[in-house]
Amino acid sequence: MLEWIRFIISAALILSGLVVMCLGVIGVFRFKYVLNRMHAAAMNDTMGIGLVMLGLIVMSGFTFTSLKLLLVILLLWMSSPVSSHLIGRLEITTNEDISREMEVKL
């Protein structure tokens, strides 16, 4: 019975991670502005992969493999926001038409 509960929890985590990834891909293709696309990609990377990895941790049980997966999650959570911030900052400093692209149209 415990195996089935663990399987259901891990399947729910993996499926929710896949849903987040699909929504992130849709966001990357639908948004027009670079920074909005980057935000969708960063959420896809951070939350989607994190949920899938948590599902794999629950599925494998609490072993040395799950510790390695947890370290991968921590590495992604540390590196993805930093790289997204640097790419966004590069876009803001190098784009000459940034004020025109950021105008709010009501």
What's the pLDDT at 104? 56
How far is residue 79 from each of residues 9, 25, 42, 101, measured CA to CA in Å?
A: 27, 20, 11, 28
Interatomic CA distance for residues 51 and 82, integer angstroms = 20
- CA distances, 11 to each of 14, 51, 60, 76, 86 (Å): 5, 10, 12, 21, 34
Residue 102 lies in a domain: no
Cβ atoms 32, 41 nearer than 8 A: no
Question: For residue 44, is it within any domain?
Answer: yes
- Asked, for residue 42, whether it belongs to a domain, the answer is yes
- Domain presence at residue 72: yes
Q: Residue 75's domain spans which residues?
A: 10-92
For residue 63, give the amino acid letter. T
Is residue 35 included in any domain, yes or no?
yes
Per-residue pLDDT of the chain (106 residues; tens, 9 = 90+): 888 999 999 999 999 999 999 998 998 888 888 788 888 888 888 889 999 999 999 998 889 999 999 999 999 888 888 888 888 888 888 877 777 766 655 4
Residue 30 forms part of a structural domain: yes
pTM of the full predicted structure? 0.78
* pLDDT score of 106: 46
> Is 50 a member of any domain?
yes
Structural contact between residues 74 and 57, judged by C-beta atoms closer than 8 angstroms:
no
Number of domains the chain contains:
1
pLDDT of residue 105: 57
Does residue 71 sit within a domain?
yes
